Structure 1
Amino acid sequence: MAGGVSVVPASGYYPVSLPRVLPTTTTFRRKRKLSISATKEISARNTTSSLSKKAGDKNEEMERRSFKDYLEHSKHLLTSSDGGPPRWFSPLECSSTPENSPLLLSLPGLDGVGLGLSLQYQRLGQIFNIWCLHIPIDDRTPFPELVKLVERTVRLENQRTPNRPIYLVGESFGGCLALAVAACNHDIDLVLILANPATSFGESQFQLPTPPLDLMPDNLLSGVPYLLSLLTDSPSKLVMATLEKRLPLQQTIGEMSQGAISLSSYLSVMSDVLSDKTLLWKLKLLSSASAFANSRLHAVKAQTLILSSGKDRLLPSREEAERLKKILPICEIRCFDDSGHALFLESALDLVTIIMGCSFYRRQRYHDYVSDYLPPSPSKFKKLYESTSFIEKFTSPVMLSTLENGKIVRGLAGIPSKGPVILIGYHMMVGLELLPLENRFWIDHGIHVRAIAHPFMFKKLQENMLDLSVFDYIRVMGAVPVSPINLYRLLSLNSHVLLYPGGIREAFHRKGEEYKLFWPEQSEFIRMAARFGAKIIPFGVVGEDDVSQLLLDYDDQIKIPFLQSFYEEFNESFRKLRTDSPGEIANQVLHLPILVPKVPGRFYFLFGKPIETEGKQELRSKEKSGEVYLEVKSEVENCLAYLKEKREKDPYRSILARQVYQTIHGPDAEVPTFSL
C-alpha cells in the first residue's frame, strides 16, 4: 500500500487505504492480521443485528464493546507498535456505513491510542464513516505538526465532498486538537464534539509546577502511570458495566474477576511502556496543546457541542465548558453530573442519542430533521422509557381506540399499523400527554410517532431561554419543527405524524380554558393528507386537571411589571406563527405557567375512528377540505366529552385506588377502568 495511510495492527480494525489522505506517511507492517474466519464472524453479526427490533436489541448488546474490550485492545496497540508516525485506522464495525454518511475523525486523548470511541462504534458506524487517529506511544511529533496532519486530512476530504460536513470528535487532548484544526480551517464546514477538552489544563490540579518538565528527575513520576489510569475511573467502570447487565450473581462475580484480570494486565503494560520520559513528553505535549488552542479560540467558527463531566478528577471540565461557551459563537453544552474524565468510556453513554437529541447530525450543509434522523435503538429506547416512566406510574394512562365498525376498545387496536397516518388531537397543558402517547405507541403497538413541534424546542435564540437539553427527549424521538415541508416529507415516508392544530395557544391556555380547542379557521392539514391518502385519526385526552392546578396563567403574570417586560423580550426572539389568523389562535405567547401539583388522578386517551382520505380527490378543494376539517374538530370535541363523562365512573381514577389494586395483583398488573 505504498503512499497510502498507515494501519494499526489491531484485531477488529482495518486500514484507511485512500492515498489522498496522508500521501507522505509510510506503510505500517502488520504484526497480527485479522483471520478470514474472524472477519466473517464479525460481518455476520453486523448483518444479523438489523433483522428486527427484538433481535436487533439482543445483538446490539452482544456486539457493543465493553470497557474490558477497550482495555484488551488498548493493551494490544500499546505493545504491538513498531514506532512510525501518527496514522489513521477505521473500525471494522463501520465497514458497511452508507455512502452518503459524513466523515467522523476521532482524535485521541493523551494516551494517543485512538480507541476512545470504541464503546460507541456499533451505533456511530450506522451514520458515520469513522477514522481514528493513532499516535504511537514513542512518537514525538510536536503539537503544531499534529494539527497539520489532521488539517491535511480535513482539506482533502473537503475537496472530495465539499457539501458534506466533517465531524471532529475529541476527548481531553483531542479536544484541543479539534479546536486548533477548526481555528485554522474556518472556511470548511466542521462540527466539533468535545468531551472534557483539555483547554483548561493550566487550571488542573495535576499541572506540574516548575522546574520545566524536561528538567525534572526521572524517578519523580514513577507512580504516575498508575495514577493516570485511575483518573479514568477504570475500576468503577468495570463494576458498573457488569452490574448494568443484571446477570445472575455467579456470572456477575465471574465477569468482575475477568475484568479485574484485564485491568491488572493493562496497568502492567502501561507501567512497562509509559516510561517517565514518555510521560513527561505527554504532559509537555498537553501543555503545548492547551496553549495553542486557547490562543486561537477567537478564530473558531465551527458548530460545537461540549460534553462536560461533573466528576472529572483531572480537569475542571464543568467550569471550562461554560468558559468556552461564552467564547465560541455556535456552542451547546450537555452536562453529565455523575461521569468522570473519560466520558466516552462510560457504558451508559450513547453518543448517537446525544447527537440526535441536540440535532447535531447532518449529511449536508444544513440539518434536515426528516432525512438526518436515526431512531433510538430498542435498548436505548428502553433506557429513555425508564427515565420518563414516572409519568405513567403516576397517571396510569388509559388508552382507548375505535375500530372500523365504530366499537371502542381498550388499547390501540384501532390504530392503523401502516402509514401515512396523522394523529390530530387536543394539546393538554404544557404537553403533559406527549410522553405517555409516544411511549405507549412504541411499546404496545410498535409504532414510532413523529411529532410536529414548535421551533423554540430546536433553536436557542437568546440566553434567557430554557436550556434546550430539556427538549432532548422529544428530539431523540423524532420531533420536527412545524412547517408544511416537514409534514409533506413525513407523510411521503408513510410516517405516523402527531399534529396539534391548537399549537402553543392550546398547550399554554389560561384559567378556565381546559379542554377548549384553539384551532385556526383554515383546514391546514386536510389537503396535505388527501395528497398522500393518509388516514386522519382525531383524538382527545383528559386528565390535566387531575394532576395540577393552574395557579398563575399568562394574564396573571403580565400584571407583574418585571415579568411583563421579560416575556415581551423573551417572545421577540421567536418566529411568530399564524400571525394572520383571526382571534385567539394568533395569540401564541410563550410563557411558563405556574402549576400546583395535585394528588395524581389519571390520564385518559380516546382515538376516534380513522377518517379515510385515499382516493378522495375532492378533498383538495378548499370547500370540501373545510367540511372534513370541521368533522375532525367535532370528533376531537366528542372524544373529550366522552372521556370527561366516563372517567367519573372509573373506580381507579385516584392513585390511591390504583396502588391498592397493584399491591394485591402485582406492580405490573394493568389497572382496570370504567366499562366500555
Structure 2
Amino acid sequence: MNAEVKALAKASSFTPPPLRTVKAANRLTRFYFNPQFQGLDHVDPLKPALYVCNHTLYGMLDGPLLYEKMYEEKGIVLRALGDHFHFKIPLWGKMLKRGGSVAGTRENCAQLMEQGEHILVYPGGGREVAKRRGEKHKLTWKTRTGFAHMAMKYQYPIIPVAALGADDALDIVVDAYDVMQNPLGRWLLKHDKNDILRGGDMIMPLCKGIGPTILPRPEKFYFSFGKPIDSSAFLGMENDKEMQWQLRYKTMQAIEAELSKLREVRKRDKDNSLIRRLLTQR
C-alpha cells in the first residue's frame, strides 16, 4: 500500500478521542488563555462546512481550543487539513493525528467531503505560521485557491473563522528576513536540497513572551465565526481560476471583518484579572 493510499485510509477510518480526553489535554491552556467565542449560532452540526481560519504565530496555541469548543458546544469533531511540517514535530504531530487532522492534500479533502465531515483549513499554511515582523493578524495566503476549488466542487459552504490573541502573546525577536541576511542563513538556503525551508518560508521566528523567556504572555484568545458563504453560486465553476479567486477574496474579506470585530470586542472586554494585566504588559 503506497503512502497516498495509506493517508486516504487514515482519513476515512478515524475514531474521535473522547471529549473528556480533549478537555483534560486543554485544561492548562484553557485556564491560561481564557478563550472567548462568538458567532457559534452560524454553525449547524447537521450541515457540513469548510471552516476557513487565519493561522497565528507558530500555529500551536489556539487551534486545540477551537477544536475543543466545537466538540463540546456543537458535537462537531473538526477534521483539520494541516501543513505537512506539523506532522514532523515530535508529540505535536501525533496529537494532531489522534485528533483527526490529516495532511492538507486535495485527495484527503475530497475523502473527508465525500464522508460529510466538518473540515478546518488554514490557507496560509506554514508561511502564515512562520510570521515575520509586521505580520501580526495578517493573512498570508500567497496564491493558494485550493480550498475554494474544493468548496465549489463539493458544494460545501464556507464558514469564515477569525482567531485573535496568539499573535499578541509573543514578540518576534529574529525573523526569516534576519536569517536570510545572515551568511549562515544564506548558506543553509543554498544547500537546502530537499527544500525543507521552502525558500525561506519555513524559517520560524525566534520569539520572547514574558520578560526574556519564551513563555507566552497570558493574552485572552478570541474566536469569531462569520456567516456561512454559500458556494452554490459557483456550481460547476471549480476549474475556473477567476471564480476560485473570487471566492477566495470573499472569504478573506469575511475573515478580516471578523478580526476587526474581535479587536473591538477585546477593547471593550474589562474582564481581566490583575495578574493577567500585569503579565501581558510589554
Q: TM-score, normalised by structure 1?
A: 0.37
Rounded to whole Å, the distance in 1 between the matches of 2:73 and 2:220 is 19
Structure 1 residues 558 and 521, CA, compared in 2 at 3 Å: closer, same or farther?
closer
* Paired residues, number: 269
In the other structure, the counterpart of 2:51 is 423
- Which of the pair has the greater relative contact order for Cα pairs under 8 Å at 6+ separation? 2
Asked whether 1:588 is paired with 2:201, we answer yes
In the other structure, the counterpart of 1:439 is 68
Asked whether 1:604 is paired with 2:232, we answer no
Residue 521 of structure 1, CA deviation: 3.5
Rounded to whole Å, the distance in 1 between the matches of 2:29 and 2:190 is 32
Q: Single out whichever of 610-619 and 471-480 deviates more from structure 2.
A: 610-619
Asked whether 1:457 is paired with 2:79, we answer no
Decide whether the 8 Å contact of 1:601 with 1:653 is kept in 2. Answer: no
One-letter amino acid of the structure 2 residue matched with residue 448 of structure 1: V
Rounded to whole Å, the distance in 2 between the matches of 1:637 and 1:486 is 27
Rounded to whole Å, the distance in 2 between the matches of 1:541 and 1:605 is 5
- Pick aligned residue for 1:397 from 26, 31, 35: 35
Asked whether 1:553 is paired with 2:175, we answer yes
Residue 634 of structure 1, CA deviation: 0.7
- Pick aligned residue for 1:623 from 242, 245, 248: 242
1:88-127 correspondence to structure 2 within 5 Å: none
1:38-53 correspondence to structure 2 within 5 Å: none
Decide whether the 8 Å contact of 1:537 with 1:609 is kept in 2. Answer: yes
Residue 400 of structure 1, CA deviation: 0.9
Asked which structure has the greater CA Rg, the reply is: 1
Decide whether the 8 Å contact of 2:152 with 2:235 is kept in 1. Answer: yes
In the other structure, the counterpart of 2:132 is 510
Decide whether the 8 Å contact of 1:420 with 1:532 is kept in 2. Answer: no
Residue 548 of structure 1, CA deviation: 1.9
Decide whether the 8 Å contact of 2:153 with 2:236 is kept in 1. Answer: no
Rounded to whole Å, the distance in 2 between the matches of 1:472 and 1:458 is 7
- Pick aligned residue for 1:369 from 10, 15, 22: 10
Residue 435 of structure 1, CA deviation: 1.0
Rounded to whole Å, the distance in 2 between the matches of 1:370 and 1:562 is 40
In the other structure, the counterpart of 1:275 is none
Residue 430 of structure 1, CA deviation: 0.8
What residue ranges of structure 1 are gaps of 5+ in the alignment?
1-162, 165-361, 402-411, 460-465, 578-585, 659-676
Asked whether 1:528 is paired with 2:150, we answer yes
Structure 1 residues 607 and 633, CA, compared in 2 at 3 Å: closer, same or farther?
same
Rounded to whole Å, the distance in 1 between the matches of 2:62 and 2:209 is 17
Decide whether the 8 Å contact of 2:173 with 2:205 is kept in 1. Answer: no
Rounded to whole Å, the distance in 2 between the matches of 1:653 and 1:511 is 27
Decide whether the 8 Å contact of 1:417 with 1:447 is kept in 2. Answer: yes
Deviations 1:507-552 (A, max 9, x none): 1110111011112335322232122221101121111244222222
Rounded to whole Å, the distance in 2 between the matches of 1:628 and 1:651 is 37
Deviations 1:590-614 (A, max 9, x none): 4353332354121111111001124
Q: TM-score, normalised by structure 2?
A: 0.83
In the other structure, the counterpart of 2:251 is 632
In the other structure, the counterpart of 1:387 is 25
- Pick aligned residue for 2:270 from 651, 657, 667: 651
Rounded to whole Å, the distance in 1 between the matches of 2:197 and 2:146 is 17
**Percent sequence identity over aligned pairs:** 25
One-letter amino acid of the structure 2 residue matched with residue 596 of structure 1: G
Rounded to whole Å, the distance in 1 between the matches of 2:13 and 2:228 is 30
Aligned-pair Cα RMSD in Å: 2.9
Asked whether 1:486 is paired with 2:104, we answer no
